[in-house]
Chain A
Amino acid sequence: GIQVEQSPPDLILQEGANSTLRCNFSDSVNNLQWFHQNPWGQLINLFYIPSGTKQNGRLSATTVATERYSLLYISSSQTTDSGVYFCAVFNKFYFGSGTKLNVKP
């Protein structure tokens, strides 16, 4: 099956810092999404981005399908950004292992 690898596994930021999260996948995909799982367990849709670039406020994402990776950018991080970020490909419903982000005030 498709391998989905996320890096880094853990990230600690000072409030206001920027960060880049990476998702590598081992085969071509027709559906890639980024999610934020907040401390209460709720999965929040961030981006549906099988290719190209999208922006939503302080967040943006880029998927380069031909090179099999996707990036999630978080600018001016806030404490509410804390939680786990998952990349998922839905050819066959593979989730990465996640990046656990902790933003300190």
Chain B
Amino acid sequence: SAVISQKPSRDICQRGTSLTIQCQVDSQVTMMFWYRQQPGQSLTLIATANQGSEATYESGFVIDKFPISRPNLTFSTLTVSNMSPEDSSIYLCSVAILTSNEQFFGPGTRLTVL
């Protein structure tokens, strides 16, 4: 398995500002992902974080709004830019471990935008 930490665990932000979320995993993993979970909804994949290159975004998500970095095999950041109340969600980092395709999730960042 993998132990994943996220910072911050929660935040309340003002409209128009940006927030960067950090994800750290305790072992080298093949893939890292970022998901969004809107209130009362299921999870939606935002993007795959690629080490040393641009992230791969899913339909409906763009780099200008959700820039992602992954400088090494164990760390990634997601920025939520120019926030609006519609961005209020839980943002989760997940990883796929080397020995299988099984995914593990971090504790999530609960974001409220006023």
Contacts and interface: CB of A to CB of B under 8 A. Distances in A.
Given A41-B90, A41-B107, A41-B108, A95 B43 contact: yes
B103 interface: yes
B102 A31 contact: yes
Interface in B21-49: 33, 37, 41-45
A88 B60 CA distance: 20
A96 B102 contact: no
Interface string A63-105: 0000000000000000000000010101001011110000000
A12 interface: no
B109 to A, nearest CB: 10
A56 interface: no
Contacts of A48: 100-102
Contacts, number: 42
A42 B42 contact: no
Given A95-B43, A96-B42, A98-B42, A45 B101 contact: no
A12 to B, nearest CB: 17
Interface string B3-17: 000000000000000
27 contacts: A31-B101, A31-B102, A33-B102, A35-B105, A41-B37, A41-B90, A41-B108, A41-B110, A42-B105, A43-B92, A43-B105, A43-B108, A45-B1, A45-B102, A45-B103, A45-B104, A48-B100, A48-B102, A88-B43, A88-B103, A90-B101, A93-B45, A95-B42, A95-B43, A95-B44, A96-B42, A98-B42
